[in-house]
Amino acid sequence: MKVILTRDVKNTGRAHEIVEVKDGHALNFLIPKRMAVIATPANAKLAETRKKSADEGRAISEKLIEERLAALAEGSVSIKKKANDKGHLYDAVDAKEIAAAAALPEDSISIEKPFKELGIFEVPVAYGENFGKISITIEAE
């Protein structure tokens, strides 16, 4: 069955793409969760115009992220948190806090688990097809 995705679906496709999926997957999962609509000619035209605008927006955000990463390349981002005498944090530093401190979108920060200690860490940043790294310093208050 051909469907048009209304948002990005892992291992299936990006938003506004027409994809071929099994009938059961479309009827039992994608369509009820409003992740897709049936690919009719009218929906296909609408998806095409939305895809163009989404691609333009994605290109602009990738450019802004790339400029922000270039600005952060020289230095590091500092985050101050309460810690004990051994350097362990009372509250972990997660992707949301790193994104706020670095002025980057939260979904571009990819860490496996939150940081729970003081120190300097390299954080990978993924934006579109490109990748980068920023350095963060977690300091005690």
Query: Which of 45, 62, 79 is the endpoint of a domain?
Result: 62
The span from the CA of 39 to the CA of 24, in Å, is: 15
Per the listing, tokens 């600005």 go with 71
CATH number at residue 16: 3.40.5.10
pLDDT at 76: 82
Domains of the chain: total: 2
Are residues 135 and 96 located together in one domain of the fold?
A: yes
Are residues 74 and 58 located together in one domain of the fold?
A: no
Query: Residue 51 is part of which domain span?
Result: 2-62
Are residues 80 and 135 located together in one domain of the fold?
A: yes
CB atoms within 10 A of CB 36: 28
Are residues 136 and 73 located together in one domain of the fold?
A: yes
Are residues 25 and 52 located together in one domain of the fold?
A: yes
Are residues 47 and 6 located together in one domain of the fold?
A: yes
Q: What is the mean pLDDT of each run of 10 residues along the chain (141 residues)?
A: 92 91 95 95 92 86 81 84 93 93 86 93 82 89 87
pLDDT at 125: 86
pLDDT at 120: 93
CB 134 within 8 A of CB 102: yes
Are residues 42 and 75 located together in one domain of the fold?
A: no
